Amino acid sequence: MSNYSSLREAADNHGFRIGAALNARSLRSDPSYWKTAKNEFNAITPENALKMGPLRPSRKIYDFTDADAIIDFGRAHGMYTRGHTLVWHNQKPDWFQAWDYTDEQLEAFLRDHIHTVTGRYRDKIDAWDVVNEAIADDGTLRETVWADAMGENYLDKSFRWADEITDADLYYNDYGADAVNKKSDAIYDLLSDLLERDVPIDGVGLQCHALGDHPDPDSVAKNIRRFRELGLDVQITEMDVAFPLDDRPENPLEEQAMYYQAITEACLEAGCGALVQWGVNDANSWLRSFKDFPERFTGDPLLFDDNCDSKPAYHTVKETLADS
């Protein structure tokens, strides 16, 4: 057993970033959430507050209230901050549907969005997920409003616009690409091409939503290594570990702890610098509310339970960091 009193202390002492996605409502209203976030983690990601929909109640207006609250919290407690996300096909503003834009208008809109948001947080955000989920599950470029208006080039442009304003590390982030597979192969090719064209990209975020399917940790390590060899930093950006409700193991908490341990070991061995879990405690997990997820998966995917008490997985991650 290690002598570390918190996960944060173990991570700090071993040069690793252990993070959690935060929402402003719980930070404001729930003291144990607040305390757990600040004591146990040295990194944060706003879960929704920096997405275009929440930030842009109308075309001309930005509402930074929740994003500011989360980012100020992180700074007050000396935490590494990931900005999530500038360009994504989901969680666009509602008014977007009714906007009859030209391609040129959309491009100008995205440039302004990226400039404004990265500018506001220029000294406050350490890494940005510039583009999120641009590759479809079959490995082709996803059809999105951005690709439709700007062509494939929208990735190059987005990274360059961010780089014009901020010194933060610039990431490409995606799901289902944690292990070596068809999708991560496609992302590997995409990012190799970006690097070849001198597009300013620093890293790749592997979301690691291990829901029904738990990517093989050895293959995750291999995947991390190949991106590192391209010269990119790698982070696990949105981890949670759940089980299908109709195929639940006998000891889900132990299985979960073993899986978190295996991924932490893969990170440390292969040179991934951060592991962010997608929430602080189970009660706040998106698995409790997103689409049909509550009917499909166990709803306790994180290191802390509903009351912010530590779970077996918390201890395996802490011990793994302590032993590193």
281 touching ligand XIL, by CB under 6 A: no
Residue of the chain from 34, 80, 286, 304 that contacts ligand XIL (CB under 6 A): 286
Nearest 5 degrees, angle CA 11-CA 12-CA 16? 50
Nearest Cα residue to 15 out of 267, 188, 260:
267
Catalytic residues: 133, 238
Least Å from the CB of residue 132 to ligand XIL: 5
Interacting residue with ligand XIL among 6, 26, 42, 48 (CB under 6 A): 48
Rounded least distance, CB 106 to ligand XIL, Å: 21
Q: How far is the CB of 291 from ligand XIL (least distance, A)?
A: 9
Among 80, 175, 259, 297, binds ligand XIL (CB under 6 A): 175
In 10 A of CB 196, how many CB atoms? 8
Q: DSSP character for 142?
A: P
Considering the rule CB under 6 A, would residue 207 count as an interface residue with ligand XIL? Answer: yes
Candidates 290, 294, 307, 323: give the one binding ligand XIL (CB under 6 A).
290
| Binder among 9, 30, 40, 47 for ligand XIL (CB under 6 A) | 47
Sign of CA dihedral 78, 202, 118, 290: negative
Tell me which of 132, 158, 261, 277 binds ligand XIL, using CB under 6 A.
Answer: 132
Contact of 221 with 270, CB cutoff 8 Å: yes
Cβ closest to ligand XIL, residue 261 vs residue 284: 284
CA distance 287 to 278: 10
| Binding-residue total with ligand XIL (CB under 6 A) | 8
Kindly provide the residue ranges of all beta strands, DSSP E only, lying in 182-230, ordered along the sequence.
203-206, 209-210
The pair of structure tokens assigned to 164 is 């014009």
CB of 15 to ligand XIL, least distance (A): 26
Residue 42 or 285: the one with the smaller Cβ distance to ligand XIL is: 285
**By C-beta, is 208 or 321 nearer to ligand XIL?**
208
Is the CB of residue 235 less than 8 Å from the CB of residue 186?
no
Q: Which is nearer to ligand XIL, 190 or 321 (CB)?
A: 190
For residues 85 to 114, the per-residue mask of contacts with ligand XIL, x marking binding by CB under 6 A and - elsewhere, is ------------------------------
Helix ranges (H only) for 16-64 are 24-29, 31-40, 52-55
Tokens of 171: 């990431």
CA distance 320 to 269: 11
CB of 207 to ligand XIL, least distance (A): 6
Residues 6+ apart with CB under 8 A from 290: none
Q: Which residue's CB is nearer to ligand XIL, number 176 or number 217? A: 176
CA separation (Å) from 31 to 25, 189, 201, 213, 262?
Answer: 11, 45, 37, 34, 31
Does 40 contact ligand XIL by CB under 6 A?
no
Report yes or no: 323 and 301 within 8 Å, Cβ to Cβ. Answer: no
Chain position whose Cβ is nearest to ligand XIL? 286
Can you give the binding site for ligand XIL, defined by CB under 6 A?
Answer: 47-48, 132, 175, 207, 238, 286, 290
